[in-house]
C-alpha cells in the first residue's frame, strides 16, 4: 500500500492532512509500528518534517487521525446498502470483501490494535468509536432476527466482532489459510442460530 504522489504546491490543509495519513498508513501496511516514524512518513509523503507537528500536534495525533479515518471507512463500508441483500447480508459481505479484508488493511489494523493497550490517547479514540461499530452490527442483527427472539443482540454483536478480529489476524498472518469464502462461512456459522430458519441470507 503506497501513498499516491500528489502535487504538494497549493494543497489545502485538509489535503495535506490526508497526504500524511495516507503515508502513515502505507508505512504501517509495509512494516507495522517500526515504520511509523517521522522520517519514514515524511519520506513517503514527500513533505517536510514540520508538517506532522503542524497538522497533528504530535505523532500520537497522527496515529489517532489514522485510527479515526480507518474506523470511519470501515463502518461506512459495512453499512453501505447492497442491492438485493439485507442489511446483515450486506454487512457480512463488506467485512469479507477485498476492500476490508485485504492484507494491507489488516496489517494496518494489527498495528493499531497493538498500540491501543499502551497508548492512552489511542485507547480513548478506540472507546469512542467501538460503540458505533457494535451498534451497527447489533441493529442489523435485530432487524434480521425473528420477532420475539430472546437473545441479547449487543452480546452477539460483541462475539461477532471478536470473530471478525480473529479472522483478520489469521488472514494477515497467513492469507493462504483463510479464503474469503471460509471467512464468510465462519461469520454465518456464528450468526445463523439467531436468525429465522431460512437464515435471512443468501447461500
- Kindly state the cell numbers that stand for 199: 437464515
Which pLDDT band, with edges at 50, 70 and 90, does 203 fall under?
very low
pLDDT for 201: 53
pLDDT in tens, 46-87: 999 999 999 999 999 999 999 999 999 999 999 999 999 999
3 pLDDT above the threshold of 70: no
Q: Are 65 and 56 in contact, with CB atoms under 8 Å apart?
A: yes
pLDDT in tens, 167-176: 999 988 888 8
Q: What's this model's pTM, rounded to 2 decimal places? A: 0.84
User: Which residue bears the cell 474506523?
Assistant: 71
DSSP 42-66: HHHHT--THHHHHHHSSHHHHHHHH
Domain covering 1-57 assigned CATH 1.10.10 in the classification: yes
Annotated domain spans of the chain: 1-57, 66-194
Mean pLDDT calculated for residue range 18-40: 96
pLDDT for 7: 46
Which pLDDT band, with edges at 50, 70 and 90, does 149 fall under?
confident
pLDDT in tens, 104-143: 998 999 999 999 989 999 999 999 999 999 999 999 999 9
- Kindly state the cell numbers that stand for 130: 467501538
pLDDT for 112: 93
Provide the angle, in degrees to the nearest 10, between the axes of the packed helices 59-79 and 87-95.
130
pLDDT for 5: 46
What's the Cα-to-Cα distance from 15 to each of 88, 99, 110, 112, 144, rounded to whole Å? Answer: 34, 22, 26, 23, 40
Which pLDDT band, with edges at 50, 70 and 90, does 9 fall under?
low
pLDDT for 33: 93
Q: What is the CA radius of gyration of the chain?
A: 19
- Kindly state the cell numbers that stand for 160: 461477532
Percentage of the chain surpassing pLDDT 90?
75
pLDDT for 173: 86
pLDDT for 198: 64
- Which CATH superfamily is 66-194 part of? Tetracycline Repressor, domain 2 (1.10.357.10)
Report which secondary-structure segment, H or E, holds 1: none
Amino acid at each position: 500500500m503506497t501513498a499516491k504522489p500528489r502535487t504538494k504546491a497549493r494543497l489545502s490543509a485538509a489535503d495535506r492532512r490526508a497526504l500524511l495519513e495516507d503515508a502513515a498508513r502505507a508505512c504501517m501496511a509495509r512494516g507495522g509500528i517500526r515504520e511509523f516514524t517521522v522520517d519514514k512518513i515524511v519520506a513517503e509523503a514527500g513533505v517536510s518534517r514540520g508538517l506532522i507537528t503542524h497538522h497533528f500536534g504530535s505523532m500520537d495525533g497522527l496515529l489517532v487521525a489514522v485510527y479515526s479515518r480507518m474506523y470511519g471507512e470501515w463502518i461506512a463500508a459495512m453499512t453501505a446498502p447492497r442491492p438485493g441483500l439485507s442489511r446483515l447480508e450486506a454487512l457480512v459481505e463488506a467485512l469479507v470483501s477485498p476492500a476490508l479484508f485485504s492484507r494491507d488493511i489488516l496489517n494496518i489494523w494489527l498495528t493499531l490494535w497493538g498500540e491501543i493497550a499502551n497508548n492512552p490517547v489511542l485507547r480513548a479514540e478506540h472507546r469512542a468509536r467501538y460503540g458505533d461499530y457494535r451498534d451497527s452490527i447489533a441493529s442489523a442483527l435485530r432487524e434480521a432476527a425473528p420477532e420475539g427472539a430472546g437473545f441479547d443482540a449487543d452480546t452477539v454483536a460483541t462475539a461477532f466482532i471478536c470473530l471478525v478480529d480473529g479472522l483478520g489476524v489469521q488472514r494477515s498472518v497467513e492469507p493462504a489459510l483463510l479464503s474469503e469464502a471460509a471467512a464468510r462461512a465462519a461469520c454465518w456459522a456464528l450468526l445463523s442460530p439467531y436468525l429465522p430458519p431460512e437464515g435471512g441470507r443468501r447461500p
